[in-house]
Structure formats: C-alpha cells, structure tokens
Amino acid sequence: MRVLVLGEERSRIKLIDEETVRHVAWLARLEVLDDEVEGFVEQFNRILDYFRKLDEAETEDVEPTFHVLNLVNVFREDEPFPPISPQEALKNAPKSERGFFKAPKMV
C-alpha cells in the first residue's frame, strides 16, 4: 500500500488509483465490480483530501493521541471462568461437523 506522504507537491497528486482500490477490496475480501471502481477512487481521494485538511492544523507541541479513553492498566486475574457449551458456541455457525466449525477449503 502507498504511504501518505505530505508536502506541497504531493498534496495535489491523487494518491489513490484504480489498482489501490482493487487491492484494498481484496484485503477486505469485498467484491468490487468494474464499473464501481472509478467511483471508489473518487471517494477514497476525497477522504484523503479531508485528512490533508487536518494536517494543516498546528500540532507541533501536541502529544499524539493513540487511544480515546483516559484509562491505563485494566487487568483481570488469571482465574478461570466456565466456558460456554460447544452447542452454544456452534449455534451461529452456518456449518459445523463433529463439534468443529466448518470453513471453506483454504489452500
């Protein structure tokens, strides 16, 4: 994936191209039809334009925020709690077999 590089010149270049849209769709396992791609290219770039606007803000002396909660160190004890039953665990599974979740062939 491309990295957003900021700067005068860069800011005028469209960062997202057709290839990137298809790649992101593949990563998210989403099907994007050929006639939809152009629309997403437009929208993705508009989102990035918005981030460029945010970049104009002066943040020199501001601590970066990586988490919205003002909490740290929330822990639990290493004490077991009864798990749910396998019947319950498999209840939402579209397919199961002998107590296993059944998934498509992967390789």
Residue 57 C-beta: closest distance to other proteins, Å: 18
Q: Pick from 2, 9, 8, 13: which is nearest to 45 by CA?
A: 13
Stretch that binds other proteins, among 10-18, 31-39, 46-54, 93-101 (CB under 8 A): 93-101
> Contacts with other proteins: how many residues (CB under 8 A)?
39
Binds other proteins (CB under 8 A): choice among 27, 54, 57, 62: 27
Q: Pick from 47, 37, 41: which is nearest to 17 by CA?
A: 41
The smaller minimum CB distance to other proteins, of residues 35 and 77, is found at 77
The smaller minimum CB distance to other proteins, of residues 62 and 106, is found at 106
**78 vs 54: CA distance, rounded Å:** 43
Tokens for 34, please give them: 């050929």
Measured from the Cβ of residue 36, the count of other Cβ atoms closer than 10 Å reads 12
Residues 50 to 79 in contact with other proteins, rule: CB under 8 A? 64, 66-69, 71-79
